[in-house]
Amino acid sequence: MSIRKETSVKIVVTCAVTEAHKKLLEKIAPGHTFVYVGDSIEGTGLSIPVERDVINDADVIIGNADPHLLKQAEKLKWLQLNSAGVGSYVDVVGKDVLLTNATGAYGVAVAEHMAAQLLMMMKRLPAYYDNQKVERWHDEGPVQSVFGAKVLVVGYGDIGATFGRILKGMGARITAVRRRLTKGLDGADAVATLDDLDSLLPQAQVVACVLPDTPETAGLFTKERLGKMKKHSWFINAGRGNVVDSDALCDAVATGRLAGAALDVTEPEPLPQGHRLWHTPGIYITPHVSGGLHLEYTHNRIIQIAARNLELFLAGKALEHEVDRQSGYGK
């Protein structure tokens, strides 16, 4: 899709930005109209609420604007998401609208969070923190190690591959699980597909899930599948909460079949008070905060991706990180 140089394009930025980010974007698109719905970062959320009339005549939107409002954005030619996941945007945005995501921005932040969660569980750190609160000097017993562990990374995109590299550097053996077999994946000792999952689960000490929300992945980890995991193994989910049966996971951890689970995503979100996940010993929850704008590097990468695509868009060239409408993954 080509935009003539003399055409004034309205670019609405719903993702929080800094002054440096604004300068970067405006340097790429001089003479075009920018509308920022937030002048600074307040908290660490990804996008700022925006009124309908602000985006109705937008040619370009950078950020995860309210999907319901996008239905009225009749002039929209391109939506650049500030998330890696695409969720309902595939169904909401018209087929003639270019849809791109921010894959490549979140690998470091989310993978480091996952690694921290795993080590926290393996080394019994929560027990020691509890002891500290009551001034109790007590040895909590044997721990486990990443070194030599067989780790199954289900979803080996940017985040999964970064997690794989981190753990491989600590001596783990990494099996990458993807939709399609791909040779020579960075950080992976072996590669498999989702069709191989049931045969791989009994062998892994760690199962780390970083899958997007697609019809293929929803409900993937059922009670039966969790039951196939190696006894006393660990489960981590930083992809989407609907990938796993929450009740079945609680049962597996509560009965001691699984050593523990760390979740940065749940179903639903926010997780309501009284939910079993909150109160099952051995399950550790963070409220979907591994990504977002908590890490400056991530925030800068999001804007760099958007800026690069803006440059390509104005030049009438193919965009990077375009989303496949059928699969929900990048093309």
- pTM recorded for the entire structure: 0.91
Mean pLDDT of 209-218: 93
Q: How many domains does the chain have?
A: 2
Integer Cα distance of 101 and 85 in angstroms: 7
Give residue 87's pLDDT: 83
CA dihedral 262, 267, 270, 275 (to 10 degrees): -80
Indicate whether 88 belongs to any domain.
Answer: yes
Number of residues that this document lists for the chain: 331
The answer on pLDDT for 5 being more than 80 is no
Give residue 245's pLDDT: 98
Identify the CATH number of the domain in which residue 93 sits. Answer: 3.40.50.720
Q: Are residues 257 and 171 in the same domain?
A: yes
Task: Dump pLDDT digits (tens) for 10-37.
Answer: 999 999 999 999 999 999 999 999 999 8
**Joined tokens for residue 232:** 């006393």
Bridge partner residues of 66 (DSSP): none
The answer on pLDDT for 44 being more than 70 is no
Task: Dump pLDDT digits (tens) for 121-158.
Answer: 999 999 999 999 999 999 999 999 999 999 999 999 99
Integer Cα distance of 60 and 54 in angstroms: 12
Buried b (16+ CB within 10 A) or exposed e, 80-110: bbbbbbbbebbebbeeebbbbbbbbbbbbbb
Q: Are residues 215 and 165 in the same domain?
A: yes
Q: Are residues 179 and 266 in the same domain?
A: yes
Integer Cα distance of 223 and 200 in angstroms: 16
The answer on pLDDT for 79 being more than 70 is yes
The answer on pLDDT for 199 being more than 80 is yes
Q: Are residues 67 and 154 in the same domain?
A: no
**Joined tokens for residue 56:** 């109705």
Indicate whether 176 belongs to any domain.
Answer: yes
Mean pLDDT of 88-105: 94
Q: Are residues 39 and 150 in the same domain?
A: no
Give residue 46's pLDDT: 54
Q: Are residues 240 and 267 in the same domain?
A: yes
Specify the higher pLDDT residue, 268 or 51: 268
Q: Are residues 255 and 306 in the same domain?
A: no
Give residue 329's pLDDT: 67
Give residue 315's pLDDT: 96
Give residue 53's pLDDT: 78
Mean pLDDT of 239-246: 97
Mean pLDDT of 281-302: 97
Cα angle: 315, vertex 67, 41; to 5 degrees: 75
What mean pLDDT, rounded, does the chain reach?
A: 93
Indicate whether 130 belongs to any domain.
Answer: no
With cut-offs at 50, 70 and 90, classify the pLDDT of residue 317: very high
Q: Are residues 150 and 275 in the same domain?
A: yes
Q: Are residues 153 and 258 in the same domain?
A: yes
Please check whether residue 54 is in contact with residue 181, taking contact to mean a CB–CB distance below 8 angstroms: no
Integer Cα distance of 203 and 174 in angstroms: 12
Please check whether residue 289 is in contact with residue 51, taking contact to mean a CB–CB distance below 8 angstroms: no
Q: Are residues 49 and 29 in the same domain?
A: yes
- Closest-CA residue to 265 (of 174, 186, 155, 138): 155
Bridge partner residues of 15 (DSSP): 47
- Closest-CA residue to 214 (of 191, 187, 194): 194
For 133, residues 6+ apart whose C-beta sits below 8 A from its C-beta are none
Indicate whether 316 belongs to any domain.
Answer: yes
Give residue 182's pLDDT: 85
CA dihedral 181, 184, 189, 190 (to 10 degrees): 10
Q: How far from chain centre, in Å, is Cα 219?
A: 17
Pick from 17-26, 28-37, 44-53, 229-238: least confident:
44-53
Range of 173's domain?
A: 144-285
For 164, residues 6+ apart whose C-beta sits below 8 A from its C-beta are 151, 153, 156, 174, 176, 185, 186, 187, 188
Indicate whether 120 belongs to any domain.
Answer: no
Mean pLDDT of 86-94: 89
Instruction: Give the Cβ contact number of residue 161 at 10 Å.
Output: 22
Give residue 325's pLDDT: 81
Indicate whether 2 belongs to any domain.
Answer: no
Mean pLDDT of 214-226: 95
Indicate whether 5 belongs to any domain.
Answer: no
The answer on pLDDT for 42 being more than 60 is no
- Sign, Cα dihedral of 63, 64, 65, 69: positive
Reduced to 3 states, what is the DSSP secondary structure of residue 97? coil
Q: Are residues 150 and 247 in the same domain?
A: yes
Q: Are residues 21 and 97 in the same domain?
A: yes
For 157, residues 6+ apart whose C-beta sits below 8 A from its C-beta are 84, 103, 210, 329, 330
- Sign, Cα dihedral of 37, 42, 48, 50: negative
Indicate whether 139 belongs to any domain.
Answer: no
Integer Cα distance of 15 and 208 in angstroms: 29
